[in-house]
Structure 1
Amino acid sequence: MRTPKTLAIPAKASASGRLSSVASALLLLKVFGDADAELGISSIAKTLGLAKSTVHRLAVTLASEGFLEQNPDNGRYRLGLALFSLGALVRQRMDVSNQARPLLGLLRDRAQEAVHLAILSQGEVVYLYNLESAQAIGIRSYIGVRKPAFCTCEGRVMLAFGAPEQATAVLKQPLLARTPRTVTDPKALLRTLAEVRQSGYAIDDEESEIGIRGAAAPVRDMSGRVVAAVGLAGPTQRLTKKDLRALVPQVVATADAISARLGFQSR
């Protein structure tokens, strides 16, 4: 087991809203240099330069949430399974992106429109990967950009096929119109989500951005849970409603192919 280096602890919350207690808890977790390391309160307190009583309170709190585990035989702490679960989520997102890239490239080349891979996070769509169209007139999207889930095709498809409480939480929030075509009535959106579940895909016809039309389909993991969405979009001056409908089967097929790579087997 390697000896952890001394870590600096912030004295108080900064002007940006940084909470010293949260920062201390996170630095406490970083003290564990090895996954199987067990450390006592005194050792952790010395490394962090904190009082034993403070470290004890932090450790008890982290243990109650599963981020630490206490060895009943010696009272020392080790990293908990909650961290493993969070790490698994990060690895899963990386796996989805890695598996999706070549297939998204094929979709972009065949459809000649921009394609995206997105996930759902706190009621918003987050774009993990995108490929722009080679067309003279196209649309730009950026990795890491967040958009409201309720008005994007990627968000709707994930809300439709995801856990019901996700959609409920989103629809309880203020639904602000992004364009004159944005549907903001919760009951109407529930009907739309039902239609998405029936058809297997979602359409965005200038609801999230004027001049842009798109479609999306769900990506599932081995358990069948929807973990991402494949989206395709283009400018309305080129991508007509009829053209978009014609491309939907390719979007769905790409999402299904990525799901298969993640271990999902359709019945």
Structure 2
Amino acid sequence: MVQAVQRAVQILRELAVTGPRLGVTELAERLGVAKPTVHALLRTLEAEGMVVQDRDSSKYQLGPYLVHLGNSYLDTQELRSRALTWADLLARRAGEAVWVAVPTGDHMLVVHHAFRPEGTVQILEVGASIPWNTCALGKAVAAFAPDEERERLLSGELTVLTGASITGREPLAAQLAQVRAQGYALEDQESAIGDAGVAAPVFDRSGAVVGAIGVVGPVERLLAEPARQELAVAVRETARNLSRDLGAPRGAARGTAG
């Protein structure tokens, strides 16, 4: 790896995770790098619009060009582009918000958000990054990932967001086995108190799982019977159709066949 590039990426990550504003000294301590080196990297990133310096505090924060890069990624993300219509159809059918997400390391990145049909105020969640073990989207992907990838996820850090977050390797592995058997995953207040999710995996033309689609909403609406079973059927059918739209062979989406 090119060390300068790696350090520049680490700076952006620090600003994204621990920011919004950090000074040269703070960044140097976090990266374990000399202040002149960090300052030179920041100046380069600033020239490219990746970071900006606050005039009052002289600290740095993420820059506007990152929005352009993020939008470019979304525009070229095939799963997202194929999912637009399917997500809208599922939102109308379920009467709930729908998220489409792709795996990024040990998190799930929301690349599309179809709003709940009713006209209440809703917050766009595109760009949200959620620990895989705390959401139905992540569990749907992990369950159908290759064995070595699933083992890596189960052996890694299992994040706690609420008291309901599952952090035990064995209980989580058992849950993933159930997801593979039934073709959909559930989330019960594991990311946020009061929220739930029902999601199913999406496969590409090679038969590999590339993401997930699911409904999200209040736990009392999503997980109470018979709503849960009805939503599970709708989510699996949508995931299967989306997988076929991506060119997935029929056998690859057997978990979403219902």
TM-score by length of structure 2 reads 0.66
1:204 aligns with 2:194: no
Structure with a larger share of its residues in helix: 2
Structure 2 distance, partners of 1:91, 1:214, is 23
Match of 1:157 among 140, 163, 166: 140
In structure 1, C-alpha distance between the alignment counterparts of 2:116 and 2:75, rounded to whole Å: 27
The percentage of aligned residue pairs carrying the same residue is 29
Say which of 238, 245, 248 aligns to 2:229.
Answer: 245
Corresponding residue for residue 103 of structure 1? 86
State how far apart, in whole Å, the 2-side matches of 1:246 and 1:232 are: 12
The equivalences for 1:187-226 within 5 A come to 187-226=170-209
Considering only CA atoms, is the larger Rg found in Structure 1 or Structure 2? Answer: 1
Name the amino acid aligned to 2:98. V
Which position in structure 1 is the counterpart of 2:249? 265
Q: Which amino acid aligns with 1:109?
A: R
Distance 1:113 1:157 in 2: 19
**Which consecutive unaligned segments of at least 5 residues does structure 2 have?**
12-23, 42-72, 252-258
Residue in 2 that maps onto 1:234: 217
Deviations 1:53-84 (A, max 9, x none): xxxxxxxxxxxxxxxxxxxxxxxxxxxxxxxx
Contact conserved, 1:118 with 1:125, CA < 8 A, in 2? yes
Partner Cα separation in structure 1 for residue 174 and residue 136 of structure 2: 14
| Distance of aligned partners of 1:215 and 1:139 in 2 relative to their CA distance in 1, 3 Å threshold | farther
- Aligned pairs for 1:70-109 within 5 A: 94-109=77-92
Query: Relative to 1, partners in 2 of residues 1:157 and 1:195: Cα closer, same or farther, differing over 3 Å?
Result: same
Displacement after TM superposition at 1:218 (Å): 0.6
What is the one-letter code of the residue matched to 1:245? Q
Q: In the alignment, residue 156 of structure 2 is paired with which amino acid? A: Q
RMSD: 3.1
Q: How far does residue 178 in structure 1 lie from its aligned partner after superposition? A: 1.5
Contact kept? 2:108, 2:132, Cα under 8 Å: yes
Which of 165, 169, 172 lines up with 1:186 in the alignment? 169
In structure 2, do the counterparts of structure 1 residues 109 and 91 end up closer, same or farther at CA, with 3 Å as the change threshold? closer
Task: Specify the code of the residue in structure 2 equivalent to 1:265.
Answer: P
Local SS of the residue matching 1:175? coil
Shift of 1:241: 2.3
Quick one: distance in 2 between partners of 1:211 and 1:139? 16
Cα separation, partners in 2 of 1:208 and 1:95, compared to 1, 3 Å:
same
Residue 216 of structure 2: SS of its match in structure 1? strand
Shift of 1:240: 4.0
